A and B are shown apart, each in its own frame.
Chain A
């Protein structure tokens, strides 16, 4: 049940309780209660919107920044990660394996904005050894959604 709810919500978090109930073979009230439970347990952290930025706001700039950092005594990477994630510009922070440590996704109004953020905010944090900034040029797919739109299903029509 849990997996099915999550899978349905991942495709479309805006389904109504009635629709969700129908899909799962339960009442709308039960569907609402299941979601409530997943939210209370903290399994579901929130719901967000996936935008086509070309259509919404052409100026927004995204970048992924690779950070190499020195782990801190007692708390490893957590302190640095927590410091970074407090900035509004930061969309996501993840600890990764491989040639760098933290992957930081940043949003800015323009290139200068992001550049300033990296040089003045990120690089200056204690323990940050180096940064590599990759600006996002085009987004094809996000969270399972095709940004350019899916091919319509035209089977049976041509």
Chain B
């Protein structure tokens, strides 16, 4: 970014909408939301960019960088629309992808279906080869089994190949040789190796990640390259970077090779936005809360950073339940996702309890009030009935009559309660579900959930944020400016980064520092070669982590370790680092037991800190007049009252609004309950705080 091309663009392709945000040199942003063209998603992107440039009176040459995030890889996986993929694997282990964990993820439902593997059995090809746990070759790769594989590849017109051999995370040579042989016969084939995509122990997870990568690779690489060409044709010749699920930016080349790292880029963008807000407001602990139509995502941010894990599961097809999807070992912003959104359906269970979700009415037919034929009461119906939605700001007409009818029929009749009580019950239960998920997530990391700032974005979040905040004893509730394009805003605040990982199991009692120093040297070289393309010549920050556990345990903790050449004596230091984290989580350490490291990782990150623009304080102005008043159910007094409705853009930083009130903007309504005050801070966030708190 320099004087000649000072503009920055972010593009986020979501399931329904494509968001484009243009950042001007003064950090002010303008945005545009348009429907995603599912056949040619690049068309929506180009159109959006063109519209925004026009709107701001700019030319393409002024743009210094384009940052792109997309759900295309995710959608292709969920809808099973990827390439015809073959999976070459160690002979005798053809079914690893399908045998998976051998478990039923729902104990009491005998009708469950396990996730269908992306590569069917007849395309899982056994290869004669075998490596042992220490990396020794027990059976050398037999080239004739590769020749046989090519026959199958030709017969079934395979477009993409994944290779996953046992223990390839210690010795990748036979996988590499396989690629060499395959491409010497069929140069046009793209080959994904498990030792490159996810070089970690546990064959199912590694193979699953590799198969997913291969499955979306032709699609994503074609899409990205076409998009890049189109952008260049339009005069947008600036660098083109991709947002990854781990929250870092990467190049087109790396993204085309490892497209699986692009899933969850949208949520990662949201987490970055929340992190920056945390940092700029000097808040150590934040809970970011994104609630859309189908799910809610909650992410803990501590010391200004979200947690990055290497465990993710895509396409949880059974009630978002763990185990019902496909596991991915990729760097990903750690968050918890539950089936709680505006479309979540409410019902009464056999114990006469109101239950909400995870089934969702989606957007078609949607909640009853959409009047598109939905007969089930959804969270949005309850919100509407309670007066939490300003209907006139909704993109289309809502029928409150339908909401009343569906709630009456499905809830009131069964429980013999009033419609208002039922609606209140629905919102209370969905808020409690989200609070429970947040508590469980915090417990998992030994963190405190209370006294955090809650940063809420996504269409449904501002209606539920105050009550959720109350349940979690949040300090304040923040609704960022432009919350509707939060992910794309986050892209603009991200920096380039790349993570590399290697499995080297090591007992700290026999710490081989030479081996680890060598591993780190290799990893740094690999990470640098990639980061140097994304951010040439940038100042870099390096983070090293080791996944450690007591010998004999099965769950590892990721411990940040010092960036230095290690010696044998450092094993004591590593032990102390692990033990203090373990104590924090579980309250005790186990003196007599040795500690082992399973894998070592290194992240290189561009060392810059992009910030959100701040607003200068202005003269005190008087409170704006409410646009109108709306009937709203006051929970504390259990009655309907008329409350004022304010336009968000008319609220000045010097104003303080007392609840109950509603604040509206494009796409959403913020509910300010009784007992809360609201103001706008220097970053343009809506801030809600409990009075006298």
A, B assembled together: no
Q: Which residues of B contact A (CB under 8 A)?
A: none
Which A residues are closer than 8 A to B by beta carbons?
A: none
